[in-house]
Structure 1
Amino acid sequence: MRALVLDHPQAVPEVREVPIPAAPPGGVVVRVEATGLCRSDWHAWAGHDDGVPFPHVPGHELAGVVVEAAPEVRKWQPGDRVTVPFICGCGKCSWCLQGDAQVCPQQQQPGFTHWGSFAEYVALHAADTNLIAVPEQVEMTTAAALGCRFATAYRALVGRARVQPGEWVTVIGAGGVGLSTVMIARALGARVIAVDRHQEALDAAAALGAESVLLADGRDIPAAVTQINGGSHVSVDAVGSTQTSADALLSLRRRGRHVQVGLLAPTDGHPRIPLDRAIAWELDVLGSHGMAAADYPAMLKLIARGDLAPQHLIERTIGLQEAAQLLPGFNTATVAGITVINPQLDVPSARTTDPS
């Protein structure tokens, strides 16, 4: 199969032929029809994630069709349209059994702990715990958009911050996860302030319902937010840097809730955040790292009802070759939505591979 391969951290990505994976015990092989290009993939490329095996194939947001299932799999068979959370639980531990597979100690993450979905095929673990059926009326590109950024934003607001109608939410960063957060916050009845360094991204946030937008051009973001609403009830850092996490937390009113979604690269061993403010103002500092398959039904119900439309967040669809060119600079790219890769787009017409 064709895959985007990294030989070592910060290597020039190459699209080349590699063996098709086999289904692991209790797992499946999926033919990838759509997979998102995410800032988290850039972190893996940059070498910020411990335990990434090199040479490596990144990619963790995906949707496709099952082509092979291990004998132990009971719920899935070849031909099933599926997606999967980017964190796959083991299906056996106490956290998985109580529906919290996103914090499973034995979790697998395609594109991080094993080869991912920037390829024509991907192997997925513990299929009966982690796979989610994609209805025929849902496009594969839309389903792929759910696996990391959209589902993470949904859990950040619903499961972690427990946003209420009428509350103010400050969203720092208006890329894929930030725009997802804006859309979901508005669907929950919240009032949204979006912050980004690119006007194109802010225009997209405004179109999705952000009541106010702030250009991060060196201004004092917390002061600007406070001038608008006296401080937000909830803040979300959808970027992941010392500056953005501090801006988000300092934008809160007293007793506010901050959710850290963007991954923070280590600074002298640990990221720096203003915990003195968190203590003095009794702020809640919450992490949100994906969403278990068990929590998808409520989100999918809102999508089916039309209250949420993740397909509107898809900015473009590209092939593996273009993805290889974009990945090294994705942390500084001007992004006003979700970029989706279709591994079949630039496949030579004479070539066919399908293990099914």
Structure 2
Amino acid sequence: MKAAVLAAPETFELADVPLPQPSAGEARIRLEGCGVCASNVEPWQGQPWSTFPGEAGGLGHEGWGIVDAVGDGVTAVAAGDRVATLSGRSFAQYDLAAADRLVKLPSALDGQPFPGEPLGCAFNIFRRADVKPGQWVAIIGIGFLGAVLTKLATDAGARVIAISRRQESLDLATHYGAAATIPMHDHWQIIEQVKALTGEDLCARVIEAVGKQWPLDLATELVGFGGKLVVAGYHQDGPRQVNMQTWNWKGIDVVNAHERDPEVQMQGLREAVDAVATGRFDPAPLYTHRYGLNDLGEALAATRDKPQGFVKALIEFA
């Protein structure tokens, strides 16, 4: 099969590698596509601890496709089933996954791309955020994740304040139901605008969905007394500092919403499949850029640089 191999910083090579064979409890998926995650960018660029070459198909963890072979003891899925997968080598034509890390896609999703991992991640973050009707919820960073969370929080009866750098991102938040939008340009001006919207109470929930220091600092300022600061951004470029005095004084709960429990990850994925299949959530406006496997480097560069109109890149296989 063909698989992308990270051969050096910002250098993918397309390699011919052996077709993987499923062991007991595993299924092999002929991939239709795989989403490109913002968390891929820094490993692609190279980190101090990076080694090269990477594993075939590595970094790809948002795959979907058709089961084409199963190992011994697998009964939950069969060849021909279309599935979303939680696996880690999906920048390739085929990947292996434990059968209990697959969710069947219903016929309502036929013909639609379904990068299940990031959708499931958003649903798990939302559950951890514990959003209540009538609350003010600030979401900092309206990319793929922030947009999904805007819709979920709005549907739960909350009033979402979307904060992001680009006007098109704020427009996307409005499309998904945001009650107010604020450009992410001036730290103190943002705080004053949120105070004005909330009658000085600030927000019962603040979801930081960027993964950088300033958005985390801003989230600390925007959460109200007794509220929750939900860390949804993936912070992987070094240590962070936090204002513990403010956290203490406000008596807030701080929730790291990245789930590592496989059962919880699967719960979010199942919820996402149901929401999209039943029409409660339409992710189509988020899939803005599509590439072939040969163009994976270009897709990563777009994920980093965010050209006009960019939200999320998908790698699709012929």
Q: Is the 8 A contact 1:223 1:251 kept in 2?
A: no
Per-residue deviation, 1:336: 4.2
Does the 8 Å contact 1:202/1:214 carry over to 2?
yes
- Report the alpha carbon displacement of residue 265 of structure 1 after superposing the two structures with TM: 2.5
Alignment partner of 2:317 out of 326, 343, 347: 343
**Superposition deviation, residue 48 in structure 1:** 5.2
Q: Percent identity?
A: 26
SS of the aligned residue for 2:230 comes to strand
- Say if 2:120 and 2:266, in contact at 8 Å, map to a contact too: no
Task: State the partner residue of 2:252.
Answer: 283
> How far 1:50 moved relative to its partner?
6.8
Paired residue type of 1:256? G
Counterpart in the other structure of 2:109:
138
Partners of 1:48 and 1:265 within 8 A in 2: no
1:165 corresponds to which letter in structure 2? P
DSSP 3-state at the match of 1:3: strand
Structure 1 segment 73-152 matched on structure 2, within 5 A: 73-85=74-86, 110=88, 116-124=89-97, 126-127=98-99, 129-139=100-110, 141-144=112-115, 146-148=116-118, 150-152=119-121
1:308 is matched by which residue type in structure 2? F
- Deviation string 1:252-295 (CA, Å, 9 cap, x unpaired) is 1111111111111243xx22222322111111111122552134
Match of 2:222 in 1: 251
Amino acid at match of 1:330: T
- Tell me by how many angstroms 1:198 deviates: 1.3
Match of 1:223 among 171, 179, 192: 192
| Distance in 1 separating the partners of 2:6 and 2:196 | 46
**CA displacement, residues 137-175 of structure 1 (integer Å, 9 cap, x when unaligned):** 21464421x312x222211122x1111111111111111
Residue 33 of structure 1 aligns to a residue whose secondary structure is strand
* Matches of 2:181 and 2:51, distance apart in 1: 37
Instruction: Give the conservation status (yes or no) of the 8 Å contact 2:138–2:160.
Output: yes
What's the CA shift for 1:211? Answer: 1.4
How far the C-alpha of 1:84 sits from its partner, in A, is: 2.4
1:49 and 1:343, CA in 2 relative to 1: closer, same or farther beyond 3 A?
A: farther
Q: Which aligned pairs between 1:11-22 and structure 2 lie closer than 5 A?
A: 11-22=10-21
8 A Cα contact 1:169 1:232, kept in partner:
yes
- Equivalents in 1 of 2:295, 2:126: separation in Å? 33
Match of 1:207 in 2: 175
Are the equivalent residues in 2 in contact too, given 1:29–1:66 (CA < 8 A)?
Answer: yes
Separation in 1 of the partners of 2:151 and 2:25?
A: 36
In the alignment, structure 1 residue 274 sits paired with structure 2 residue 243: yes
User: Which of residues 181, 190, 215 in structure 1 aligns to 2:158?
Assistant: 190
| Structure 1 unaligned residues grouped into runs of 5+ | 86-108, 111-115, 345-356
Gaps of 5+ in 2: none
- Aligned-residue CA RMSD in angstroms? 2.3
TM-score under structure 1 length normalisation: 0.79
Q: Compare the two structures and name the one with the higher strand fraction.
A: 2
AA partner of residue 267 (structure 2): A
Q: Does the CA-based 8 Å contact 1:170-1:192 persist in structure 2?
A: yes
Q: Is 1:315 aligned to 2:288, yes or no? A: yes
Question: Structure 2 matches for 1:314-333, cutoff 5 A?
Answer: 314-328=287-301, 330-333=303-306
Query: Is the 1:174–1:195 contact (alpha carbons within 8 Å) kept by the matching residues of 2?
Result: yes
The answer as to whether partners of 2:288 and 2:313 remain within 8 angstroms in 1 is yes
- Give the TM-score normalised by the residue count of structure 2: 0.88
Q: Kindly tell me the number of residue pairs found equivalent between the two proteins.
A: 308
- Mapped to 2, the partners of 1:50 and 1:141 lie a distance apart of 37
Q: Tell me the residue number matched to 1:167.
A: 135
**Higher relative contact order, chain-length normalized (CA < 8 Å, sep 6+):** 1
Contact 1:187 1:307 in 2 (8 A): no
Partner of 2:22: 23
- Alpha-carbon distance, 1:19 to partner: 2.5
